[in-house]
Amino acid sequence: MNALRLLLLFFRLGAMNEVQYRANFWIQLVRTAMNLGFALFAVFIVYEQTTHLNGWTMPELVVLMGVWTLMGGLVGVVVQPSMEKLIEDVREGTLDFCLTKPEDAQILVSLSQVKVWRLLDVLVGPIVIALALAHMGKATGWQESIAFAVTLLSGSIILYSFWLMLSTVSFWFIRIDNILMIFHSMYDAARWPISIYPGWMQAMLTFLVPVAFAVTVPAGALVGRLPLHWLVGTIVLAALLLALSRWFWKVGLRHYSGASA
Amino acid sequence: MSRGFGDIYLTLFGLELSVMFQYRAAVVIWLLGLVLQPVVYMVVWLRVAEAKGGKVGDFDAGSIVAYFLVMMLVNHATFTWHMFEMGWRVRSGFYNAILVQPLHPWHRDVLANVAYKVLALGVILPVAALLAWYFEPTLQPPLWAVAAFVPAVILAFFTRFLFEWALGLLAFWITDTSGLNNLYMAFILIFSGRLAPLDLLPPILQTIAAWSPFEWMVAFPVELLLGRLTPEQTMHGLAMQVLWIAIGFAVMQLTWVRASSRYSAVGA
Amino acid sequence: MSMPAIRCDALSKTYRVPEREPGLWNAAKSLIHRRTRDVEAVQSVSFEVAPGEVVGFLGPNGAGKTTTLKMLSGLLNPSSGQVRVLDHEPFRRERGFLQQITLVMGNRNQMVWDLPVADSFARNRAIYRLQRTDFNETVAELTELLDLGELMAKPVRNLSLGERMKCEVAVALLHRPQILFLDEPTLGLDVTMQRRIRTFIAEYNQRVGATVLLTSHYMADVEALCKRVIVIHQGQLLFDGALVDLVQQFAPHKTIVVDLEREGLDLSGYADSVSVDGSRVTLLVPKSAAAQTTGRLLAELPVVDLTVEEPPIEEVIEQVFSQQHTST
């Protein structure tokens, strides 16, 4: 498919670009190790004091951490850098270069930047998950595996759509160059199963910034904690948000083209 | 000459306040993260306390809430962001203009930092009040602790600022300091008591925290206001802060001298 | 003679730059081992500038003029050599030194972007610790000279490039510096504004007696302002002297263009270099012989029209650089 070809192309370009800054590789390695180390450390400190956190055992929480890392990596490889570039382009007026090309603009802006080294997170996440599952002893059934795959995919789509919508807002509010911080702050809260939070916070993390779907849901699916209606809800939401974000993108684009001198 | 300095500070502070006000939407977004993080850990530790029948360590629910709410305010008062900007500043030739002026660049950053915090108080105080109403902290510190709290926070501010500004200067040597910055953030999260009250950490980590400047940057004023410290411990803490400020100042000045001599004035 | 305002001896600056071949394999190799290359941006440059002089630095992009300027203003640490400005070592950035200099960089904004121009003025007043009375006087003077009246209340981001440059220059002069380092001050401006800025600088130099060092690749800037030019090319000082002498030294020719009544006439006897285009002949003659040759042409040939031209200074400069190229 065309998008796939473009993705590979941008990937190669991004890789070559990244590799120049040799420090970046080591930095990302350290960063991934640090993030993981810190996440595990936090879990460790908590489980020094208790065996269950809102019903989640320590290995289950480690699975959650693994999913958190994996998702963070998926977003960080291409979605985040591309959206950051989009916001910058809108601010500088250089989005025009993208719009005059014959490919669909949304695809182009969504794939424009690749940070290869974030793949380390995508690698490490599943390893952590596998180790935690192994430690738990019980075998993961095919139902859980499928549910996991489906929710992972849906979660990614939801996150991508959310990022796109957030970045599209910058078409109107150019001066908020840190709008993406909203995601980072909320994503930090997704390190823990959202059931620990009071109702209003859970609502925020589900409906306002849908990080719940990115982390708790797939992790829950994998360890067999996901009620069926959540599974269905995730799939429906993914489809909905994808359509909504595309529509919103088009609105934003119209606004941008009309406004530019 | 010192009167001249006061005039400089006042004028520049007013300007930074005006600029910060222009970016008030961005200010609110930054605050989101600042508020959310302590609330997240507060909730986690509340659940832990519940699981243990009401108390974890010597913290009950009320004191956990109090700890993290005060932590939120002290962290807000002491945090800096300049290390994240330095890389861009060095690369963009920003310092070309600054270095030609007869004012040490750190003054402007201090003023920008304080201006931000003053502006943000308008949001963070009501939010803290709201959270206090919902989560119900128990906070009854002795009067002397309240009095000692203000100087403790001011000293904490300078301790943290000096070290973090010096850290930012590494951008003069390393193109991308985001890795180092994140490493630092992880350390300070743990050792300044923001992940968990220091008393809940394994003893070896508590020792490291006490020997590092981190405990004195954030945890110390928090523990003080919570009424968890004796007068002797408070005096000791304030002395440690002064010590770390002296060290921090030396580190910062030395690093600055070497950084500016290394400066290759790229950019326009 | 009094002490020079600026003095450099064998000033040099060398940068270490990473070097890499293109391609993915080489990119991967560079992760392990990085090759670097030394770039000599400025090589052993020496000159002196007297107080009140206006000196132009000429040279193509990357020649080293901006690097030299940065060493003079204290931004860069020289790799070797001596430099003294107003009897200070610039790199030490002593307050007494910084208080007397100013640096203006074309197309680069030093003012507070989001606030009115007046606030940027106030900022410099604070930083340079200016007394209110002096400050107000200077502001009034600059406002008049540069016609800034309506701009003071506008946020910097709303100004056009020309308006911004005027304000940048004004802000830079609030502390009445004795030395002005101007790096491409007219870059990107339209012709009217360029002229405006040039006139201002000349007037300022007259009034205040400040020393001006100006880099530019617009010949018009240099012609208008600088009696003395320093030509820098590939880091080396090629020429230091009066502009007229530069022209004399490197282009001692004039061009005579003659339109004749008919074609086919042979003019090779009048000059060494003759090019023919139908009935128009272009001759290149030494300056000293120009008048005489003109007279002969008019007397001896059926001339319809005749023009005598100086070579444009740009060409002269290009000649200077290409000569350097061929000789190295």
Distance CA A187, CA A171 (A): 23
How is chain A split into domains, by residue range? 2-259
> Mean pLDDT in chain B?
90
pLDDT category of residue C157 using cuts at 50, 70 and 90: confident
Mutation site for A-interface testing, chosen from B29, B79, B188 by largest number of A Cβ within 10 Å: B29
pLDDT category of residue B3 using cuts at 50, 70 and 90: low
Element (H, E) at C184: none
Q: State the pLDDT at residue C1.
A: 47
The alpha carbon of residue C49 is apart from the nearest alpha carbon of chain B, in Å, by: 20
What is the phi/psi pair of residue C283, to 5°?
A: -115, 145
Q: Are residues C191 and C47 in the same domain?
A: yes
Distance CA B92, CA A232 (A): 49
Contact A12 C24 (CB under 8 A): yes
Residues C101-145 have pLDDT tens digits of: 999 988 778 898 889 999 999 999 988 989 889 999 999 999 988
Q: Are residues C47 and C125 in the same domain?
A: yes
Chain A residue with the nearest C-alpha to that of C31: A22
Q: One digit per residue, pLDDT tens: chain A, 261 residues?
A: 676 777 777 777 777 777 666 667 777 788 888 889 999 999 999 998 888 888 899 999 999 999 999 999 999 988 999 999 898 888 877 787 777 777 778 887 888 888 888 888 999 999 999 999 998 887 778 888 888 999 999 999 999 999 999 899 888 887 666 888 888 888 989 999 999 999 999 998 888 888 888 899 999 998 888 888 888 989 999 999 999 999 999 898 888 876 543
The alpha carbon of residue C302 is apart from the nearest alpha carbon of chain A, in Å, by: 58
C295 is a domain residue: yes
Q: State the pLDDT at residue C324.
A: 58
Q: Which two tokens stand for residue A172?
A: 């109107």
Burial of C318 (0-12, 13-18, 19+ CB in 10 A): middle
DSSP chain A: -HHHHHHHHHHHHHHHHHHHSHHHHHHHHHHHHHHHHHHHHHHHHHHHH-S-BTTB-HHHHHHHHHHHHHHHHHIIIIIHHHHHHHHHHHHHTTTHHHHTSSS-HHHHHHHS---GGGHHHHHHHHHHHHHHHHHH-SPPPHHHHHHHHHHHHHHHHHHHHHHHHHHHHTTT-TT-TTTTHHHHHHHHHTTS-GGGS-HHHHHIIIIIS-HHHHTHHHHHHHTT---HHHHHHHHHHHHHHHHHHHHHHHHHHHHHHHH--
Distance CA B157, CA B75 (A): 9
Q: Which two tokens stand for residue B221?
A: 């004023």
B267 is a domain residue: no
What is the phi/psi pair of residue C7, to 5°?
A: -150, 125
Q: Are residues C124 and C217 in the same domain?
A: yes
Q: Are residues C258 and C114 in the same domain?
A: no
Out of C227, C248, C269, a domain closes at: C248
Give me the CATH number covering residue C234. Answer: 3.40.50.300
Distances (CA, A) of C286 to A145, B95, C283: 91, 50, 10
The alpha carbon of residue B103 is apart from the nearest alpha carbon of chain C, in Å, by: 6
Contact B51 A192 (CB under 8 A): no
Residues contacting residue C34 through CB under 8 Å, at least 6 positions apart: A22, C18, C20
Distance CA B103, CA C32 (A): 41
Q: C116 lies in which domain range?
A: 6-13+42-248
pLDDT at C203 over 80: yes
Distance of CA C187 to the CA centre of its chain: 11
> In the A/C pair of chains, how many CB contacts fall below 8 A?
18
Residues B13-63 have pLDDT tens digits of: 999 999 989 888 888 888 888 899 999 999 999 999 998 888 888 899 999
Distance CA C237, CA A132 (A): 69
> In the B/C pair of chains, how many CB contacts fall below 8 A?
74
Tell whether A42 is within 8 A of chain B (Cβ).
yes
Q: What is the CA radius of gyration of chain A?
A: 19
Residue whose token pair is 């800025």 = C197
Contact C108 B19 (CB under 8 A): no
Kindly list the residues from chain C whose CB atom is less than 8 angstroms away from the CB atom of residue A20: 20, 27, 30
Amino acid, res. A112: S
Q: B220 lies in which domain range?
A: 2-262
C322 is a domain residue: no
**Closest Cβ–Cβ partner in B19, B96, B260 for C105:** B96
Q: What is the mean pLDDT of residues C29-46?
A: 78
Kindly list the residues from chain B whose CB atom is less than 8 angstroms away from the CB atom of residue C95: 102
Q: Which two tokens stand for residue B204?
A: 């070896």
C300 is a domain residue: yes
Tell whether A16 is within 8 A of chain C (Cβ).
yes
The alpha carbon of residue B249 is apart from the nearest alpha carbon of chain A, in Å, by: 28
Q: State the pLDDT at residue C238.
A: 85
Q: Which two tokens stand for residue A26?
A: 């080591």
Q: Are residues C302 and C211 in the same domain?
A: no
Contact C183 B8 (CB under 8 A): no
User: Model pTM?
Assistant: 0.81
Question: Which comes out higher in pLDDT, residue A62 or C252?
Answer: A62
Mutation site for A-interface testing, chosen from C25, C31, C33 by largest number of A Cβ within 10 Å: C31
Q: Are residues C243 and C278 in the same domain?
A: no
ipTM, 2 dp: 0.86
Distance CA C60, CA C234 (A): 9
pLDDT at C328 over 50: no
Chain A residue with the nearest C-alpha to that of C34: A22
Tell whether B56 is within 8 A of chain A (Cβ).
yes
B86 is a domain residue: yes
Q: Are residues C256 and C239 in the same domain?
A: no
B268 is a domain residue: no
Chain C residue with the nearest C-alpha to that of B93: C108
Distances (CA, A) of A63 to A52, A74, A121, A229, A232: 14, 16, 14, 22, 22
Tell whether A178 is within 8 A of chain B (Cβ).
yes
Q: Are residues C148 and C49 in the same domain?
A: yes
Q: State the pLDDT at residue B44.
A: 94
Kindly list the residues from chain C whose CB atom is less than 8 angstroms away from the CB atom of residue B12: 123, 126-127
**Closest Cβ–Cβ partner in C75, C98, C101 for B265:** C75
pLDDT category of residue C21 using cuts at 50, 70 and 90: low
B96 is a domain residue: yes
Distance CA B109, CA B94 (A): 13
Chain C residue with the nearest C-alpha to that of B10: C126
Distance CA C215, CA C58 (A): 6
Q: Is the dihedral of CA A88, A92, A96, A101 positive or negative?
A: negative
Contact A31 B182 (CB under 8 A): yes
Q: Are residues C271 and C235 in the same domain?
A: no
Task: Tell me the β-bridge partners of C39.
Answer: C15
Contact A19 C20 (CB under 8 A): no
Contact C31 A12 (CB under 8 A): no
